[in-house]
Homo-oligomer: A and B are copies of this chain.
């Protein structure tokens, strides 16, 4: 990677750090793009060369997470189900230390009292759902208008959301209780699929 790209990456980090520091101190709304630019030693106009909107700074790590989940689902060994891959992914994600996402705590606080940011997050989680849904659909054998993959994906993301620790300092890696909850979640998904399978068998028999 050339010096050019390294420098750009570094500037991006600088902007993120400056932004999150200010968001933490003053809140999202009370921090202007001009403030962030000043704190990061760039021209206000330059900010938009790095992030399309102020909101996008808050979700800067999302692209990587998305790519990482996509890779995990795509590159799983034959025989490993989407559920298995997902389970591992969730465990790994929750186990990650503050290094992986140094802004998580601040972000959670921002999301808690800013509707617009919460909306943005819902949307991004929706992208996760799409990814999972596709993988599940592939596992189940594609059918037109099949609701199952979508429901499974939605439920899985709901579980992921709920397992996300609210506070970075607490239970990381997933403790026994968390692990038990995760297994319950997957039992729910398996059970749902099984329930349907049974219902279909009965229907075609009757």
Q: Which residues of A contact B (CB under 8 A)?
A: 115, 118-120, 122-123, 125-126, 129, 145, 147-148, 150-155, 157-159, 161-163, 177, 181, 184-185, 187-196, 198-199
In the bound complex, residues from chain B placing their C-beta under 8 Å from that of A123 are 115, 118-119, 122-123
Determine if A151 and B147 form an interchain contact, defined as CB atoms under 8 angstroms apart: no
A79 to B94, CA, bound (A): 40
Determine if A181 and B151 form an interchain contact, defined as CB atoms under 8 angstroms apart: no
Taking a contact as CB atoms closer than 8 A, the residue among B154, B187, B189, B198 that contacts A158 in the complex is B154
Determine if B147 and A184 form an interchain contact, defined as CB atoms under 8 angstroms apart: yes
A151 to B129, CA, bound (A): 13
Given A119-B122, A155-B155, A162-B150, the answer on whether A145 and B192 have CB atoms closer than 8 Å is no
Taking a contact as CB atoms closer than 8 A, the residue among B122, B145, B185, B194 that contacts A191 in the complex is B194
In the bound complex, residues from chain B placing their C-beta under 8 Å from that of A145 are 162, 177, 181
In the bound complex, residues from chain B placing their C-beta under 8 Å from that of A199 are 184, 187, 191
Determine if B185 and A147 form an interchain contact, defined as CB atoms under 8 angstroms apart: yes
Q: Whose C-beta in chain B lies nearest to the C-beta of A154?
A: B158
Determine if A148 and B188 form an interchain contact, defined as CB atoms under 8 angstroms apart: yes
In the bound complex, residues from chain B placing their C-beta under 8 Å from that of A122 are 119, 122-123, 125-126
